[in-house]
Structure 1
Amino acid sequence: MHPNEWAPPVVLYEDPFTNQVACVSVRVRLLLGDTFLDVHQRLKPEDVTCETVCTRIIERQNISAEASKLFALWIVGKDLEIQIRPKTNLVDIVKDWRQLVVKYTHFPQAVDPDHMFNRYWLLFRREASVCKKVERELTLKDTIALKMLFGEAKRNIITGRYPCSVKDAINLAALQLQVSIGNYDPIRCPSGYVAKNPDLIKNILSAKIVKKKTVWSWEKHIRNEHERLKDISTKRAQVWCVINFLNLYLS
């Protein structure tokens, strides 16, 4: 499924003979660096709890028990995000979603159950209350957890989810380049490697902040920062990107 396409993440299937719900299909999205993964599960109606769904994801993705504490299941809409409690039945929260959108976003259009404001996604992502120290220690140990947290941080950077200064944007852009292409090399990174590459710009800077400088000015500052990161490993650059983003998020 394309990132911008939508289909209900929770679907109920009825037994044609009894008209009772026989099973529930659940689709949860994981953010993995420059891509994403949709994890599909089919569960009995009584097993569709947040805890059960998370346990299956953790097992399927080989996330360590220790690193699993970094993540939680979220239901996310256009202007409303809720971290789901472990014992919550997903069918129940989906049924209540429209009322929650109306209550907390105050969009009158949300009264219409078919309106796009009522679309939602289930995301397996960073647990809201995890402290930075614990996160730093665990991401250094667990490669899979690091990849997921980096994917979430990258998405939040390029969508402008949280405001950041030009200086922070330059640092985060350079870290992303260090992750994707390694050390700065004038042969691989000739003049214009950022300024003449609009797809790259979209992939490392938010559309809002990119307007604050010319593309050539962005390239100059990002190149200088990228050069400074020489010999920083991909893993270390990912950790720094996650931690620097959290500094913005928690400040």
Structure 2
Amino acid sequence: MNKEHLYAWFKEGTITIPSFLLTNYKSLGLNEQEMVLLLQLQSFIDKGNHFPAPSQISDRMTLQETECLFLIQRLVQRGFVQMAVEENQEIGQEKYSLAPLYEKMMDCFLKTLKQAESAEVQKAEESLYTIFEQEFGRPLSPFECETLAMWMEDDHQPEIIKSALRESVISGKLNFRYIDRILFEWKKNGIKTLSQAREQGQKFRVHQKRERKTETAQPIKDVPFYNWLEQ
């Protein structure tokens, strides 16, 4: 193979296939024939032919011309391909557009992300219940489960709730009322991240130690002694 052949091969160009389309075309409702036909359309469009004839597509595939025409019509009806008119001077020229396909891909991608996030949240919530039961050493009561769910509905992230639980354990006040008070104070003070919660907890413990030292350092007042035996 000489350089001219290599140059001709390079001029053929390449077609970029989104990885998401390749791995999720089935989820989009496409079969293999439709998938390949869409790639053929993209190839023609990339080379400047925006309205290839079914016979041109058929020459590249194992399908008959009528089958290609049927697939194109079905893809248009199902909203994967759009037919538009391109204004070229005074003559209107029809063209295919794959914009609807990419819109469907984006919708499917966002849906996939949302499902993954929901699964992560559910996993975190289940883990949260388990951690609370381990710390309390018993199953949570229905009221406690409802309170825990209420905290999560109140935009408290699972990691923040875990941090509040940790603060209650360190303080030796392992009860839901104390944890609820911590979360209330953190929300009031704009505590939203785990690092902020840890910093706030550290400051609180330092403050508590200072208060205890101050109380210990105060002199004990003399109390008059009354001898009941002399009466």
The structure, 1 or 2, with the larger RCO (C-alpha pairs under 8 Å, 6+ apart) is 1
* Pair member with larger Rg: 2
**Is this a same-fold pair by TM over 0.5?**
no
Q: TM-score range by the shorter chain?
A: under 0.3
TM-score by length of 2: 0.23
